[in-house]
Structure 1
Amino acid sequence: MHELSWEKIRKDFKLTGKVTYFQSAGMSPIPKAVYKTIQETYGKLYELGELDFHSDLSMAAALLQKMGEHLNTLPENLVFMPNSSLAMSMVALSMKRRFGNDFNIVSKQDEFPATHIPFEYQNIPVSYVQPENGRYPVEKIMALTDDKTKAVVCSYVQYGTGFRQDMVSLGKALKQRDLLFVVNATQGFPFFPIDVEKMHIDVLTASLHKWGCAGHVGSLMYTSPAYREQFPTPVAGWLSVKPVGNDFIVTRKGTSVDIYPTAMQYQFGTANLQTILALKTAFEYMQNIGFDNIRKRVLSLVTECIAHLNQLDGVQVLSPHSHAGEQSAIISINLSGKSNQECVLFLEKEKVFTTIRNNNIRISLNFFNNHEDIGRLVEGIRKFMAQ
């Protein structure tokens, strides 16, 4: 295998020559290869219309195959959705249809709104586990469940603090209690390991504009066959329904609707295949680098960054970081006696871009970041604190 050159990879991301970017947890920039694919796919629309439609469908299917292998599942259990909020809404509606009003779910206090709002909007009672120093011990999560609890709905990685949950232990505990495990993997996929079988995940959604390196392409949704059998889609579109014979479109009227048994039942209508093809390029680009290599690179940068931040007076690292298993690509810090918001604005003037989440400074590191980026960040914070 050829030796990786992180500096060469860095050059694939044009913004690295202009700014110091620590906002990938909001949206990752796209590499050169993805930008080229976007130009080519929309160029085909410009020149050929939909003449390559079936070819594009085949390539989208090939991407689901690759992503299925990454999650240890079959492609028939995966579908692209417009966003994670819609995916979670489908779960909330299905649960409401099956259980009525006499049930609850358990989630976490630090969750991103896409995780819990779909359930609260359906008036489903949600009990929120409180963190312990940014962590969520499995025992504490399970202790909040009761006889009416039907599911735990939570993130793999917390968007604000970066805490990464032990999914294997939590999934095993939920399986023993026969509770659904619904996961928002947005801040973990595709860098950090996910095995839906080993983790006993029933439903998973991951918004792909965060770490997918392909822009706003929607989200990936996984549902297990057992989940779909008990909780079929609560809504349907023309692509959710199995056609008769060789028909491509279901044109019959006034008859029963037969939805697909696969995750295709959530494919309500046509998708933007051009952005999905860009995602295919991005996924293959990262796959070629190696997700293990990417994860090791990111965690190495995170460890280095935390070590430097800990040396600054008045800087408190809030993200759990006692061991690599709880770390992600996100670091959250708070400044003592100074305004976090003003620090972010100060850093922007230095062309160093972080962001505010939960009133703290969020720093997210990607594999294109380097030691010099960390140095500019730390020096910028040092200068601000010295004012």
Structure 2
Amino acid sequence: RLAPERNGRIEVEDLLALVDRRTRVLAVSFVQFASGFRVDLERLGEFCRRRDVLFVVDAIQGLGALPFDVERFHVDAFAADGHKWLLGPEGAAILYVSSRVLDRLEPTLVGWMSVRNWRDSISEEELTYDLSYREGALRFESGTLNACGLCGLGASVELLLEVGISRIEEHLTVLGRELCERLQAKGYRVVSSRRPGETSGIFCFTHPHYSAQELVARLEQRGIIVSARLGRLRISPHLYNTLEEIVEVATQLP
């Protein structure tokens, strides 16, 4: 069961209406990839906790740019790859599983990194195949670690924490406000919600005469990289982008 998007937003009421007595899991995106809409995780998490429904979050489009508190939001599990807002290399990701639900979850893949006594099982004269899981979320780590990728991701996380996630969010708010005002003045429709608490670092637009693909190609010719998602122009600045660059993007668009 899927909640519909309405004018670039995912209404909390639509999500809650899908939950019934048989519902075991509510899975949501922290931020929608094609609109930039930020869902109310706190409200959803409180609802799930009261109903004993597992609350699972895909955080890839917001983690590293927006505050994210698993305790405040009552998140039971979340995942996020490192190559987007976390500024890490591809192939290195984060998985969080709350201790509250660990014993209720069974790994679907089991490898040598998932089990507790793997060294003993291969050092004896006969292979024992002891599949007792490791403590904590480590039981979900089935294979060999991407050591180089994790080093890069660790350095990126240190950088983000040093700058401060709240400062990054404030910076993106300033850039987004400038971008939306300038493109609205040019006749663009802002798909992304501008309501407090619903904004993110993703800003999506449509133009009455130009397709998203045409606009992406136009900017690429000028050395500006953006993307097209679901027929919308998507612009996603981060902490390293400046107000001057945002003005340049708006200037180069028709």
Kindly state the Cα deviation for residue 254 of structure 1 after the two structures are TM-superposed. Answer: 4.2
* Matched residue type, 2:251: E
User: 1:379 aligns to what?
Assistant: 251
Please identify which structure carries the higher helix content: 1
User: 1:184 aligns to what?
Assistant: 58
Match for residue 358 of structure 1 among 227, 230, 239: 230
Kindly state the Cα deviation for residue 142 of structure 1 after the two structures are TM-superposed. Answer: 0.8
* 1:238–1:250 CA contact under 8 A, matched in 2: no
Tell me, in whole angstroms, the C-alpha distance in 1 between the residues paired with 2:201 and 2:230.
17
Check if 1:250 corresponds to 2:121: yes
Moved over 4 A (4+): none
Tell me, in whole angstroms, the C-alpha distance in 2 between the residues paired with 1:256 and 1:340.
54
User: 1:319 aligns to what?
Assistant: 192
Match for residue 94 of structure 2 among 220, 229, 237: 220
Kindly state the Cα deviation for residue 339 of structure 1 after the two structures are TM-superposed. Answer: 2.1
Kindly state the Cα deviation for residue 361 of structure 1 after the two structures are TM-superposed. Answer: 0.7
* Matched residue type, 1:348: E
Give the superposed CA RMSD: 1.6
Tell me, in whole angstroms, the C-alpha distance in 2 between the residues paired with 1:163 and 1:273.
33
Structure 2 gap ranges (5+): none
Check if 1:193 corresponds to 2:64: no
Cα pair distance change 1:146/1:300, threshold 3 Å: same
Tell me, in whole angstroms, the C-alpha distance in 1 between the residues paired with 2:120 and 2:86.
32
Tell me, in whole angstroms, the C-alpha distance in 2 between the residues paired with 1:234 and 1:343.
43
Cα pair distance change 1:255/1:380, threshold 3 Å: closer
* 1:241–1:250 CA contact under 8 A, matched in 2: no
User: 2:240 aligns to what?
Assistant: 368
* 2:121–2:129 CA contact under 8 A, matched in 1: no
Kindly state the Cα deviation for residue 145 of structure 1 after the two structures are TM-superposed. Answer: 1.7
User: 1:163 aligns to what?
Assistant: 37
Tell me, in whole angstroms, the C-alpha distance in 2 between the residues paired with 1:196 and 1:276.
22
User: 1:36 aligns to what?
Assistant: none
SS of the residue corresponding to residue 138 of structure 2 reads helix
Match for residue 10 of structure 2 among 117, 121, 136: 136
* 1:238–1:249 CA contact under 8 A, matched in 2: no
Tell me, in whole angstroms, the C-alpha distance in 2 between the residues paired with 1:130 and 1:379.
34
Task: Name the % identity.
Answer: 29
User: 1:259 aligns to what?
Assistant: 133
SS of the residue corresponding to residue 144 of structure 2 reads coil
